[in-house]
Amino acid sequence: MKSPLSQDPDSHPGRQTEGMPAGAPWRRLDMRSYVVLSVWWGCNNQCVICMLTGLRDRLKPLDFDAYKKIVIDIVNQARYRNLILSGSEVTTFDHLEAFVRYAASFGWFQKIQIQTNGRRLKDPGYARRLVEAGVNEFFVSIHGLGATHDTVTSVPGSFDEVWAGLREISGLGVNVVTNTVLNRLNAPRIPALMEALCDTGASEHHLWNYFPMEETDTKDLVVPVTQFAGMLRELLRIHREAEKPLVLKSFPQCLSKGPPGFFDSWFPVTVLPDVFWEKFARSGWGYCVHRDKCRARECWGLSRAHVKRFGDARELLSPMG
């Protein structure tokens, strides 16, 4: 397992490609100031889009002693002011509160975020205990409204739970960011989802391109980039009216039309086993026929699975000067 402190953020394939917006209303997270510790691999969903499918059984949770050592290193090196606890579904981890409390005890971290599917947050006592332990930011995954979300998670009723969870944490004085993965199952309903999310207390919404984690789209989940480009204008309208940023992850940078859409594919420094990165590499991100003529060196381009199935979209994409 790589230590976050041995990685050079500037060499990461997902370097940030757009700077922070000048000011309100487009304030959003600067993921460069975050470090992710993957502490737990249990989960109560079976998402069809999961990047850990086939890997979770082979991954070991971070034991408390190893965790303490890494947290002490992070604090001593004074490089990251914000911490994310992640892995699979950390709210199924019995010791999450103790892990959070330990990190908070240093008084160093400005933000302690958990990445979650949000289902357990519907329990007011649990959500409040996490906040009391030190969580002050929630990154909540939601992939559609109603049955669409349940189809993606493969768990009937999971939408009702995450929606109740969002309502619960909105009254706790914490920052909430939502996370959605664009895929074939939810693509037609993404504008409706974003419209509904704009009425929650979330400060910004992240929309990720689906990561195939393989060379072909065997799960039939990749969305053609032309379909994404067709919905982008509507998504921007929704977010402009709501005055909330829409952060777009791993989409071709030349599709950017400016705020409130931010094409920002930065991955925070993440502690993940090598086996994950080996599978991640199979997606083959970065393909573009215009690559040699384009100055957007950090663009993620298209995945190998997209090119195989839908072509290279050469008419849609255009080199940036």
Query: What is the contact surface with ligand SF4 in residues (CB under 6 A)?
Result: 252-254, 288, 290-291, 294, 296, 299, 301, 317-320
**DSSP string covering 146-187, please?**
THHHHHHHT-TTHHHHHHHHHHHHTTTT-EEEEEEEE-TTTG
The phi, psi pair for 305, rounded to 5°, reads -65, -35
Task: State whether residue 106 is helix, strand or coil.
Answer: coil
Please, which residue, 176 or 299, has the CB nearer to ligand SF4?
A: 299
In 3D space, the residue among 70, 132, 139 whose CA is nearest the CA of residue 96 turns out to be 132
Q: What is the distance between the alpha carbons of residues 176 and 127, in angstroms, rounded to a whole number? A: 13
Give the number of residues written for the chain.
321
Q: How far is the CB of 20 from ligand SF4 (least distance, A)?
A: 20
Q: What is the distance between the alpha carbons of residues 296 and 80, in angstroms, rounded to a whole number? A: 27
Please, which residue, 97 or 298, has the CB nearer to ligand SF4?
A: 298
Q: What is the DSSP letter of 134?
A: T
Q: What is the distance between the alpha carbons of residues 72 and 97, in angstroms, rounded to a whole number? A: 18
Q: What is the distance between the alpha carbons of residues 45 and 153, in angstroms, rounded to a whole number? A: 6
Please, which residue, 84 or 302, has the CB nearer to ligand SF4?
A: 302
Q: How far is the CB of 290 from ligand SF4 (least distance, A)?
A: 4
Yes or no: say if 296 and 253 are a contact pair by the CB < 8 Å rule.
yes
Q: How far is the CB of 251 from ligand SF4 (least distance, A)?
A: 9
Q: How far is the CB of 191 from ligand SF4 (least distance, A)?
A: 23
Please, which residue, 213 or 288, has the CB nearer to ligand SF4?
A: 288
Name the E strands within the chain: 34-40, 82-87, 111-116, 137-141, 175-182, 204-209, 246-249, 261-263, 269-271
Q: How far is the CB of 293 from ligand SF4 (least distance, A)?
A: 8
Please, which residue, 36 or 288, has the CB nearer to ligand SF4?
A: 288
Please, which residue, 93 or 300, has the CB nearer to ligand SF4?
A: 300
Q: How far is the CB of 320 from ligand SF4 (least distance, A)?
A: 5
Q: How far is the CB of 285 from ligand SF4 (least distance, A)?
A: 11
Please, which residue, 2 or 297, has the CB nearer to ligand SF4?
A: 297
